[in-house]
């Protein structure tokens, strides 16, 4: 085990995947930046490693044939990656921000997610798209959204949203191994977060949630960094004698109905916390399934705590108000929590 940052865990996963399988290759803007630029090459031929430096070191190790710098044309290189995947390679393109999905959506929606179905399962499209998401760093409205819910509506597409370095490494390797297209969401506010990560190659099952903390009175289901918001709320509720079970969903599509429903039936009270906007999102989907499948076990309505129905503000004070936090969980979940306090 080694303590790694989230960023290092992603880099390590890609390194191991490329070492193990020659068909794995990377594409993206500035992922091998500096190569061939005279004044940079003398100092460091791997000047950038992508916009956040996640891929630093992989260019010199594997060469420009497998770490491919692309033009600023998301539609162009994403379409190329789909073609590579359909013809025997396992490309891992980097979409700099998930806000840019509109520029390359046809390659995913019209091609990657349809080919296997259209060819009766005979075609494979093992493409893993890495992309940064999340508010909290004043990156403004066009670079701060969380759009895993939008993509989660597309049949045939795995959507993974890890919260810890350990899960980031294991889930990314699972995505790369999978023969179906996958979107791998990396919250940019978590890149510097640290955790213990096994040194060897391992995978975590796609579609399997994790019960992070067990409890008896209340279930909080989380996505991505909302895990840490829920843990903060759970600590406060513990002082009031309320036992909280926390589930890290880890995969948005397919999401783990079995684990969530088992917890809902046990506690009878559920809050789903999601950084996404509130309409037609993952949180409301989870709430509807719980209400349908576990209604007789519930002691109150399934509540959702989400971002407001606006783009992400640039101003730090407004951005802080935009994001769900522990106080919002306790305030907006008062209908369930106050009942527990009285008991």
Phi, psi torsion values for 187, nearest 5 degrees: -75, 120
The domain made up of 2-197 has a fold known as Rossmann fold (3.40.50)
* DSSP SS3 for 70: coil
Of the listed 75, 143, 166, 279, which one is catalytic?
A: 143
C-alpha distances in Å from residue 214, one per residue of 232, 255, 299, 302, 340 = 15, 19, 19, 19, 17
Q: For the segment 284-341, what is each residue's pLDDT rounded down to a tens digit?
A: 999 999 999 999 999 999 999 999 999 999 999 999 999 999 999 999 888 888 777 7
pLDDT tens by residue, 192-231: 999 999 999 999 999 999 999 999 999 999 999 999 999 9
Catalytic residue flag (residue 279):
no
Residue 35: pLDDT band (50, 70, 90) is low
Cα–Cα dist 128/206, whole Å: 13
Class (C level, CATH) for 210-342: alpha beta
| Residue range(s) of every CATH 3.40.50.920 domain in the chain | 210-342
- Residues 6 or more apart from 174 whose CB is under 8 A from it? 203, 204, 205, 206
Residue ranges of the chain assigned to CATH 3.40.50.970: 2-197
Which residues have C-beta within 8 Å of that of residue 50, sequence separation ≥ 6?
A: 28, 29, 30, 31, 33, 56, 94, 96
Could you tell me the pTM of the whole model?
Answer: 0.94
Helix residue spans in the chain (DSSP H): 6-20, 38-41, 58-62, 74-86, 101-105, 115-118, 148-151, 165-177, 226-239, 257-267, 282-293, 316-322, 326-332, 334-342
């Amino acid at each position: 085990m080694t303590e790694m940052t989230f960023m290092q865990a992603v880099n390590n996963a890609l390194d191991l995947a490329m070492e193990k399988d020659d068909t794995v290759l990377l594409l993206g803007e500035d992922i091998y930046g500096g190569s061939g630029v005279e004044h940079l090459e003398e100092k460091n031929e791997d000047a950038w490693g992508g916009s956040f430096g996640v891929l630093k070191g992989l260019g010199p190790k594997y060469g420009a044939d497998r770490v491919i710098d692309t033009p600023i044309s998301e539609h162009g290189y994403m379409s190329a990656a789909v073609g590579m995947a359909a013809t025997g390679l396992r490309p891992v393109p980097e979409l700099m921000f998930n806000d840019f999905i509109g520029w390359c959506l046809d390659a995913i929606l019209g091609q990657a997610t349809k080919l296997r179905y259209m060819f009766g399962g005979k075609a494979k499209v093992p493409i893993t798209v890495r992309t940064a998401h999340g508010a909290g760093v004043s990156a403004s409205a066009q670079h701060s959204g969380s759009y895993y819910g939008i993509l989660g509506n597309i049949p045939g597409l795995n959507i993974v949203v890890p919260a810890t370095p350990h899960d980031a490494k294991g889930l990314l390797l699972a995505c790369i191994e999978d023969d179906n297209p996958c979107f791998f969401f990396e919250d940019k506010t978590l890149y510097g977060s640290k955790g213990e990560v096994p040194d060897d190659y391992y995978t975590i099952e796609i579609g399997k949630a994790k019960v992070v903390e067990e409890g008896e009175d209340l279930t909080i289901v989380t996505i991505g960094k909302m895990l840490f918001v829920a843990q903060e709320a759970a600590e406060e509720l513990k002082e009031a004698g309320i036992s909280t079970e926390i589930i890290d969903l880890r995969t948005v599509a397919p999401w783990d109905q079995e684990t969530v429903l088992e917890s809902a039936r046990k506690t009878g009270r559920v809050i789903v916390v999601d950084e996404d906007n509130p309409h037609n999102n993952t949180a409301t989907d989870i709430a509807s399934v719980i209400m349908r499948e576990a209604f007789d076990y519930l002691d109150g309505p399934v509540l959702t705590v989400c971002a407001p129905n606006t783009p992400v503000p640039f101003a730090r004070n407004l951005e802080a108000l935009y994001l769900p936090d522990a106080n919002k969980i306790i305030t907006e979940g008062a209908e369930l929590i106050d009942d527990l306090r009285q008991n």
